[in-house]
Structure 1
């Protein structure tokens, strides 16, 4: 039990309330919605290559997901927040495609939902 006591001292146990947990999940969903919308908006031709990293590369999404998980109170809460983040991100991305651009890429939606 020596290692357990040593590791317990590194990360102090933090008891968060249900309200704090719900708020942090809503914040993760909001970040996902904002990033999904930003990814779709910069997905157009002629956008500066720096902004293409938001929509064209998955690295920024994984970086944000890592930040969300690091600042979570527990591993279970981190898993729920990351799942909520990616679901909201992909939902907004493809809803914008379907309702605003009037384009329904079924193959890409299935592939994007399964892979990411």
Structure 2
């Protein structure tokens, strides 16, 4: 069996074909979403935490400075794409829009461009198409799909794990995001069990190792 046939057996590409203009529109919408969320993420950092409105923006800032929301949105963008290549392009443009807006806004506010952080996040953004291509198959059925699904879910659970002894909104959001993805990516009880089997060791490895600290430490 060829590699293409093997991948198609995991998850078939959408039978509906899109025109070049429709594909371009989807990519532009992903970029626009990244621009919007990048603006919200930076703007929320500038609002004083005074009063109800300040508390709301403070909560938004806490959420957007963590990985959870970006994992959730990128995964949803990927799995809703018609094929893995489009998923990779859309997720990359999403993160490009987010990073450009966030750091250009920072430069406009503080007249200083944080080159170190931009480069580090830029490298992560460059790797996002590979992750999106893989995650696209999580919407399929079988063991490989279950493994693909367990990675973003496991990352979210690992990020939100402190919720079980520190009740903070940002951790609650990560756990709720993990539950949402678990429900979306579990079409039946059998697939649910497969995902869960992979999920446990992934969370254990992420919690007991320094992988996330190595990749995102200081960011």
Bin for the TM-score computed over the shorter chain? 0.7 to 0.9
Partner of 1:13: 15
Matches within 5 A, 1:23-38: 23-38=25-40
| Alpha-carbon distance in structure 2 between the residues aligned to 1:110 and 1:70 | 27
Greater helix fraction, Structure 1 or Structure 2: 2
Is contact 1:42-1:54 (8 Å) kept? no
Is contact 2:77-2:90 (8 Å) kept? yes
Partner of 1:60: 69
Is contact 1:43-1:56 (8 Å) kept? no
Partner of 2:135: none
| Alpha-carbon distance in structure 2 between the residues aligned to 1:99 and 1:69 | 31
- Residue segments in structure 1 that go unaligned for 5+ positions in a row: none
Is contact 1:43-1:55 (8 Å) kept? no
| Alpha-carbon distance in structure 1 between the residues aligned to 2:114 and 2:10 | 49
Matches within 5 A, 1:1-116: 7=9, 12-44=14-46, 46=49, 47-48=54-55, 49-116=58-125
Is contact 2:13-2:83 (8 Å) kept? no
TM-score by length of 1: 0.82
- Residue segments in structure 2 that go unaligned for 5+ positions in a row: 126-219
State the Cα RMSD in Å. 2.5
The higher-RCO structure (CA 8 Å, 6+ apart) is 1
Partner of 2:174: none
Q: Which moved more, 1:6-15 or 1:68-77?
A: 6-15
